[in-house]
Structure 1
Amino acid sequence: MKKTYKIKVDCAACANKMEEACKKTEGVKDCNINFMMLKMKIEFEDGVDKDEVMKEVLKNCKKVENDCEIYI
């Protein structure tokens, strides 16, 4: 399952780091962040609870940039 989220991130370098943090999150198959559009596209692994995975994604992204937001 693929889903697109609106995000708030301050710079392109942070967006790249957040993308890598997202890809390392359990339950995420792939992630792509478009800094210019402020969008995050996530492909989830089959059978996962996307809401629970997104909580972990947000937690991991906040380790990179503590004031980032992902609008779920």
Structure 2
Amino acid sequence: MKKNYKVEVDCAASVLKMEEAAKKTNGIKDAQIRFMTQKMTVEFEDAADVNSVMKEVTKACKKVEPDCEIYVK
């Protein structure tokens, strides 16, 4: 399953590091962040609990860029 999220990130250099951190999170197949549109596309593994996985993704991304925000609905 794929989902899109709005992301606020100030540093283009951090985007790649945030993508890598998200991809290493259990339950994630793939993650992409587009700096120009401030969008994140996440592909989850089949049995993943989307809400708990996104909490972990947010934690991982904040370790890279403490000021980033991922808007999970």
The TM-score bracket by the shorter chain reads over 0.9
* Stretches of structure 1 lacking an aligned partner (at least 5 in a row): none
Q: What TM-score, normalized to structure 2?
A: 0.96
Deviations 1:2-58 (A, max 9, x none): 000000001111111101100000000000110000000000000110000000000
Q: What TM-score, normalized to structure 1?
A: 0.98
Percent identical among aligned pairs is 65
Aligned partner of 2:53 in structure 1 is 53
Q: CA RMSD in A?
A: 0.5
Work out the number of aligned pairs and report it: 72
Distance 2:16 2:4 in 1: 16
Aligned partner of 1:14 in structure 2 is 14
